[in-house]
Chains A and B, each alone.
Chain A
Amino acid sequence: MTPAISLTHLTRRYRDQLALDDVSIDIEGPSITGLLGPNGAGKTTLMRIITAQEFATAGQVQVLGVSPIEKDAVLRRIVFVREDQAFPDFTVRQLLRAASWFLPNWSSGLAQTLLSEFEVPSNRRIDKLSRGMRSALGIVIGLAARAEVTLFDEPYAGLDALARQHFNDLLLADYTGHPRTVLLSTHLIDDVADLLERVVMMDHGRVVLDAPADDVRGSAVIVSGPVMAVEDFVASRFTWGRRRIGSHESVVVTGVFDDSNRARARALHLSLEPLSLQQVMVHATGRDVEGLKGRTSS
């Protein structure tokens, strides 16, 4: 099957800065993929190149099997909602009508439902909306588009925790009825972790981790307890983030732990605490993550 998004050796250079450094990813649809990483990792640049708003210095980008550059037929099957999306000088209603002309799968029924769910007034001019409401409007458009390739870049900006969960529920509900390829970038990883099938983690323009979310979740644990016992237990494993206080030590370890490992940890009076996706990412960015790659490459 043709991947919905296929990037091959993608590089983007701005003068002396390398925004993307040899990025190769294939994303099959339907799926929900998280594009994670710190500020300046290259997430937005990557999304801009996928949607042909910017061009790669080198490498190939294909969306739904073809290059999206100046291909209106493909671009109509993509929706891209940016953080702090700039909107034309319209009312909300006018904007939604305009969106319906350009997006072939547009659902005005869903758009209306979402507007009232997020309490966005449709008569209001967009420049009079609060930041949170503008984010909500972006989400309305991104979901109601039902585009085969749906990109959200930091869709949560300005949204409170309740609205974020609301967005997750609505995304999931519409996704189950209308599966599509969703690529979602965010800092708030724990908010979306459970929605993701796959995570692509970027740092300094490079992909540092690309794996099924479930593999990443189980890929590392914090082992803590008496120093000698910890050292004994983690002996042959890949470790990082070692911390020590007195004779107590905690260390992050990659790898799978089966029942016999757990029984042994218990016997050594060690506690094993799994890392959340967010914690894995914090530990993994800017570090050598060979251990994780070894665990998750398949």
Chain B
Amino acid sequence: MLDEGAPLFSQIAERLSEEIADGALPEGERVPSTNELAAYYRINPATAAKGINVLIDDGLLEKHRGIGMFVAAGARQRLLDARRKRFAERFVEPMLAEATRLGIDTDALVALIRDSIHAEGGIRV
């Protein structure tokens, strides 16, 4: 069972995108078929197909007729670029909102982040 809320087809698309971005589904790899996804997630096959189609329309998956669906070249990089663009909105802004609520000022927040990074031994990219 998937999370409630977002339409199921977009949750399927999101799941597959995550796997591509993480490298679990490398470029050129075959992705599960509509029926395989439907059986695994226990959802209607039409819904699974709709999710796959989102990724095909975005050029992240390529359909090879009669063989299946494959991760397109450059898909991972494009997903990572898109995620970087959304980083501020998804992580930084909520943090700032909470900091404001708690009365943590700019200097304290920056110090906190620096300390956390230091404790982790730096961010390795």
Contact = CB atoms under 8 A, between A and B. Distances in A.
Interface of A: 31-32, 165, 168-169, 172-173, 175-176, 194-197, 213-215, 217-218, 259, 263, 266-267, 269, 273-276
B57 interface: no
Given A197-B46, A266-B93, A267-B97, A173 B39 contact: yes
Interface in B5-19: 5-9
Given A217-B8, A263-B89, A274-B5, A194 B97 contact: no
B41 interface: yes
Interface of B: 1-2, 4-9, 35, 38-39, 41-47, 50, 89, 93-94, 97, 101
Report the 6 A-B pairs with minimum CB-CB distance, sorted nearest first. A274-B5, A214-B7, A176-B35, A194-B43, A276-B4, A197-B44
Contacts of B94: 266
A180 to B, nearest CB: 12
Contacts of A197: 44, 46-47
Q: Is chain A's binding surface mostly helix, strand, loop or mixed?
A: helix
B97 A266 contact: yes
B5 A214 contact: no
Nearest to B6: A218
A198 to B, nearest CB: 9
Contacts of A195: 42-44
A267 B39 CA distance: 40
A196 B89 contact: no
Contacts of A269: 101
A211 to B, nearest CB: 12
Given A194-B8, A263-B89, 19 more contacts: A172-B38, A172-B39, A172-B42, A176-B38, A194-B42, A194-B44, A195-B42, A213-B8, A213-B44, A213-B47, A214-B7, A214-B9, A218-B5, A218-B7, A267-B97, A269-B101, A274-B4, A275-B4, A276-B4
